[in-house]
Amino acid sequence: MAIQFKVAGRKVEASTGGYEFDPAKPGLILIHGAGMDHSVWSTIARYFANHGRAVLVPDLPGHGGSEGPPLPSIPAMADWVLALADEARLTQLALAGHSMGALIALEAAGKAPDRVATLVLLGAAARMPVHPDLLAAARAGDHRAIDMIVSWAHGPVGSIGGQRAPGLWTLGGGVRVLERGPKGALANDLAACDAYQGAAVAAAKVRCPTLLVLGSDDRMTPIKAAIPLKEAMPQAKQIVLPETGHMMITERANETIAAMRTVIG
């Protein structure tokens, strides 16, 4: 089930996890990563929508069904997420972001510490520098950019199978999500990640219960890259999922849900 809003005069399309959206319920906004869309959160969105949350999984501007152009920086994306929460009339707000989405959620929580009640950062790092070859390929529209991301982002389960859902191929699914992204969206997002240096400052402003969910085999945001975030947020919990790469939300959806439930009831 999808719902539409207007933010800054442009159409926003968001999944509600298959349930009618009710802003009177505690809100949960799930934020996707670079070049992706709401579909990567499907299993997790359905779970929390079925367990009493008003779930919104927006396509960021210029992605999926939302009108563009893509926003050029992580702070601009964070402002947009808070504006979306206003349009949706969400008052009790939990934010969860994956990869680039984690930076957006963190920046938003730093901008509005009295408003964000719970924060979950998945596949997160204090800095997300992008290899020049990857950035160049994305800017050129070269399919090798997608190949590199999908190869680096998946751990053992995504690479060799083992999904509980029969027929689900997370690696191939990742390729298709990135292939259908609008032209230029992936390059825009990678450049925004590469340029962002505000994570530690934002983390120091966060006041709410916070959880870091990390993959033991994550090659894109390895565990050690999250150490500055943990140091800036001594109240934060950390859960490391074993045999898991960067795409824990699709590779290990059930285990990711279990981790998120420790802070999101």
Q: Which residue intervals of 42-113 are DSSP H helices?
A: 42-49, 74-87, 100-111
Mean pLDDT of 127-132: 95
Please answer whether residues 111 and 78 qualify as being in contact, where contact means their C-beta atoms are separated by less than 8 angstroms. Answer: yes
Place of tokens 């981790």: 259
pLDDT over threshold 60, residue 166: no
Please answer whether residues 260 and 120 qualify as being in contact, where contact means their C-beta atoms are separated by less than 8 angstroms. Answer: yes
Query: Which pTM was predicted?
Result: 0.94
For the chain, domains (ranges, CATH) are 2-261 (3.40.50.1820)
Question: Most confidently modeled of 19-23, 74-78, 176-180?
Answer: 74-78
Tens-digit pLDDT profile for residues 147-163: 888 877 777 666 666 66
Tens-digit pLDDT profile for residues 97-129: 999 999 999 999 999 999 999 999 999 999 999
